[in-house]
Amino acid sequence: MVELCGVSKTYPGDVHALRGVDLTVERGDLLAIVGPSGSGKSTMLHLIGTLDRPTTGTVRVAGHDVARLTDRQLSALRSRHMGFVFQQFHLAPGVSALDNVADGLLYTGLRRRARRERAAAALERVGLGHRLRHRPSELSGGEQQRVAVARAVAGDPPLLLADEPTGNLDSAAGGDVLRVLAALHESGTTVAIITHDAEIAGWCLRRVRLRDGLIVDGHEHEHLSPVALLKGAP
Second-level CATH architecture of 2-230: 3-Layer(aba) Sandwich (3.40)
Q: What is the mean pLDDT of residues 112-137?
A: 96
pLDDT higher than threshold 70 for residue 51: yes
- Position 188 scores a pLDDT of 93
58: enclosing H helix or E strand: strand 56-61
Between 222 and 15, the higher pLDDT residue: 15
**190-195 and 214-220: which strand pairing?**
unpaired
Q: What is the mean pLDDT of residues 124-140?
A: 96
Q: Average the pLDDT over 69-82 and give the result.
A: 91
Global model pTM greater than 0.75? yes
Taken in order 130, 180, 187, 88, the sign of the CA dihedral is: positive
CB-based contact 116:147 (threshold 8 Å): no
* Domain range list for the chain: 2-230
Mean pLDDT value across the chain: 90
pLDDT value for 107: 81
One-letter amino acid at 209 equals R
pLDDT attached to residue 233 = 45
Task: Please tell me the least confidently modeled range out of 25-29, 80-84, 104-108.
Answer: 104-108
Q: Rounded CA gap, 214 and 227, in Å?
A: 31
**For strand 56-61 and strand 2-11, is the pairing parallel, antiparallel, or unpaired?**
antiparallel
Residues making up the chain, counted from first to last: 234
Residue 29: its pLDDT value, please? Answer: 94
Q: Each residue of 172-224: pLDDT tens digit?
A: 999 999 999 999 999 999 999 999 888 888 889 999 999 999 999 876 654 44
Collapsed DSSP state (helix, strand, coil) of residue 89: coil
232: pLDDT strictly greater than 60: no
Across 40-54, average pLDDT: 94
31 membership: H or E segment, kind and range: strand 30-34
